[in-house]
Amino acid sequence: MFDLVIIGAGPAGIAAAYEAKRAGLDYVVIEKGLIGNTIYNYPVGLTVFSTVNELELNEGDLKPAREKPTREELLSYYVRFVLDNELNVRTEETVLDVRKEEFPAKTQRSKEEDSNLFKVVTDKGEYRTRNVLFAIGAMDHPRKLNVPGEDLPKVLDHFRETYPWVKKKALVVGGGNSAGEAALFLAQEGADTTLAIFRADWENTDPKQGCIKYWVKQPLEQELNGHCLNLFFLGKVVEIREGEVELESETGERVTIENDVVFVLIGSDAELGLLKVLGVETEHGKYGEVPVYDFGTFETNVPGVYVAGHFTNHRHIKGAIDAGKKLVPKLAAKLKNAAGR
């Protein structure tokens, strides 16, 4: 019987695991990919946009070579943190189901604990726990254009690296920083790149609205001036075909461009199915559907079910870490009170 099962070993799950260990809880982290899987999937060599104090788990721990860490430095920091602190993380194990269970009739328990027993089923086994923390991120469902040809193998929903596309004709569709970065990497390293973007996104300069960061936008503009990048003000993508893509401009004009690869980088959504089956309520947040939870305790309407990180109202790593750090001491105190420990 665990006190806490944490689903996901991103920054939120790692921070929570660290606090759970410090509080002496019986906990386990179950991660379907690798430690820091979302960061592992960032483009190779990317310099992240956050500053060190927004990324580190303990002050002064993260020491990148330059002002901001690269993907590799950040990933290595989180992996080392898990290993050095001997956190109980099981990787490459997927949580498939979380169900409420009744306590066996004879079990001694206090009133507060009555409703808190869960069975967590994974592709490798089963766990019983009093509490579950969903720290599952928001990368499970990349958004689609829903146009003909989107299922062709040359259409990718995430940008990994540029070298396979040198001297190829690449189209990036999207208006946020990930699309901007992908277009920049591709153009700089020798792919014939088109960024298809809504004019409002290109002209957006508000970081709170998810604009392309200025240190990405400025070099993008230089690439435009150097003619290594084409900018297409998009009305819509009409159809993706072998060897070409048909686009409609903001003024309704149809053009067909030659094409070898399409990156559709228009955001992604969390998988909320497990939470909904448990009875967790959701609502429409700024970036899509989010679970409803108490901002102080991070507990949902289902007692014993907690949420933290990217798929809640915290889109960035700092918020994910803070959530993990804040919720566990409160949960530990509650468990101690309930059990008279």
Ligand X SMILES: Cc1cc2nc3c(=O)[nH]c(=O)nc-3n(C[C@H](O)[C@H](O)[C@H](O)COP(=O)(O)OP(=O)(O)OC[C@H]3O[C@@H](n4cnc5c(N)ncnc54)[C@H](O)[C@@H]3O)c2cc1C
Asked if 326 is part of the footprint of ligand X (rule: CB under 6 A), the reply reads no
Site for ligand X (CB under 6 A): which residue of 5, 25, 117, 139?
A: 139
What token pair was written down for 98? 């979380």
Residue 29 CB, shortest distance to ligand X, in Å, is 9
Asked if 136 is part of the footprint of ligand X (rule: CB under 6 A), the reply reads yes
**CB of 169 closer than 8 Å to CB of 220:** no
Between 51 and 204, whose beta carbon lies closer to ligand X?
51
Restricting to residues 302-321, name those near ligand X by CB under 6 A: 309-310, 315-318, 320
Asked if 4 is part of the footprint of ligand X (rule: CB under 6 A), the reply reads no
Residue 34 CB, shortest distance to ligand X, in Å, is 7
Asked if 11 is part of the footprint of ligand X (rule: CB under 6 A), the reply reads yes
| Count of CA atoms in the C-beta half-sphere (13 A) of 70 | 8
Q: What is the residue type of 39?
A: I
Stretch that binds ligand X, among 7-15, 79-87, 196-204, 214-222 (CB under 6 A): 7-15
Asked if 5 is part of the footprint of ligand X (rule: CB under 6 A), the reply reads no
230: nearest Cα among 187, 263, 200: 187
Q: Which residues contact 299 (CB under 8 A, 6 or more apart)?
A: 293, 305, 306, 327
**CB of 5 closer than 8 Å to CB of 131:** yes
Strand partners of residue 122: 95
Between 137 and 175, whose beta carbon lies closer to ligand X?
137
- Positive or negative torsion for Cα 109, 111, 112, 117: positive
Residue 272 in 3-state DSSP?
A: coil
Size of residue set near ligand X by CB under 6 A: 32
What is the radius of gyration, based on Cα positions, of the chain? 22
CA distance 194 to 260: 11
Residue 178 CB, shortest distance to ligand X, in Å, is 5
Site for ligand X (CB under 6 A): which residue of 53, 58, 94, 256?
A: 94
Between 247 and 320, whose beta carbon lies closer to ligand X?
320
Asked if 12 is part of the footprint of ligand X (rule: CB under 6 A), the reply reads yes
**CB of 71 closer than 8 Å to CB of 50:** no
Site for ligand X (CB under 6 A): which residue of 2, 3, 6, 10?
A: 10
CA distance 286 to 217: 24
Residues forming contacts to ligand X in the complex (CB under 6 A) are: 7-13, 30-33, 37-38, 42, 48-50, 54, 94-95, 135-137, 139, 178, 309-310, 315-318, 320
